[in-house]
Structure 1
């Protein structure tokens, strides 16, 4: 792995350490979240404060306009263990800054991230929305993950019982199926969730990275509040079918990896190489052959960051929120300055002409390479088997 570039000082004070540092071995799950990165500012710029109480709707569920992904709070991509007290501080400071939407999953850890989130939001649990996900084949006693998926109704109910304990709560506000189980009809999944709703243990439900026909069937069986898929300037696949389908059905959309696993924050350059175990190292969009070409997108975002007096990360997040009023990105971080930077993206606005210009520029850059390795991508876009 190449030695990371040194961070230089600026007129805004010394740069924070480690913002271009490459991450080591990570969890090879599809739902990766944003990485620590550069928060360099245009000369004389101050980080804007977020608009208080800015809200959006995911179906009938109202949440803050930006959420907080907590996936890496139990282990970073470097496989280091973040300081637990600092993770609580980030969670609670995010709430103080108007964030009321927190995203976890039983697979993150596994289980440990839910424990961290549960303890972190305990002082204000009834004022926030907790989302978590089921669907991987994880032993509920040991946390050991076995190959494949498991969305059998009895498993879903066991997982939710474990979630409630780990999250220190009596209900999951938004429960997603993390990936579609190719052996279980989505109507059976919806039936299990409906029973949990009747018991007050689940309030809303959603799906992640599902096939479009499965989303239609799921919504027909039990109204879906949100879809969570990868979506950013770097990966715009959902614009083809899924986002129009969400608009048709009145379903909210939650982009995971809204900052392109750190790419859109100017944390990666043409010389970047990834350590063994870092999932980006096996994503062909970051290969030595494709990376220099794809950096044209970063240069575009940087130009707009100067133009709008914002950081690249804020431009990327504001662009997502400008696409639809029911899109709620969930950038993740384990660093306080990055959380503050992300939440301030709510203050960045594009005029209609600016948004049209930016959209044209983004569309003109054709990204080379796949967004995920084949072994992970195989779990996306899956259609559930028919009932009977």
Structure 2
């Protein structure tokens, strides 16, 4: 199992890696994404699995008859955020293949079909919406909505898919495929340090915090940076900066997290007072009430700052995901299969498993990340912990698919 994991990890590691940052730029329907998809197909065919590319661009590798139904599915995604780490997503896909290798080594007999999957465009780095592949499959994103998505260069999602050789005409909810699946288990590197602090290599997910994204548009007046008196300015950068600080303050008070991680400025000149500062807020909290209180307080503060500086403000909620409780029966079954002593923990990060939980039973395993860092090249999991994760996933799949 160790050699299987190491070989796959080494083969995948160079794809989409930026030499300057050391991070990954595996964006949906780009050359790096194509190479990742080719790697997945090669690994599937090397194991004699039946390979499929579904209507929404997700990859599947089947052991057994897909039409038999009640299949057990495992996997994750291979795309990345800009300059992301090596583990977020790929660890789950590589571990899925390695777990299958381990089960074959054990000589187990499968009584349910097994599928390994790579969901497309999970991070949303190119088109601005996370979990596009699983959202389409689950019916949480319509064909019309998907067609309206565009990247920073104005390229639409269907145009990008066509350029990569995939026909986007049949995008949409995939009831036939969903009807085949009895359970989906996703392994993922932990995006935090709970396991490191508890001393455990592997954990089980309890729930995904409610979370959303809001766009704050501060509109002022463009003017000359050198000739406009300070008292005559309507500078939208000032209330934006104060709002960033308010977000940190309000999140701390509510036990939540709030981040302004993306900004667009017009006209974006060094010697020009901006006419528009557009910032995107990402906020997450343990409960819906905590999240609502946090965002409401941030918006209230932003409007006060905008008024003080003579700036207009529009706030638009671009996405929202309520709290997602993974199915308790499946979650408890994972605990039983792993001996009952595995910690159960919540997460503030979204996942394909969370999207799919609305239509099929889902569960998640986490592998320890000693840095606690994610979406960064500093993201890490030790090889021993990765192997422990593969073994845990193999134990779970054996219990679910080999009864």
Larger radius of gyration: 2
Q: TM-score, normalised by structure 2?
A: 0.29
Q: TM-score, normalised by structure 1?
A: 0.30
Structure (1 or 2) with the greater strand fraction: 2
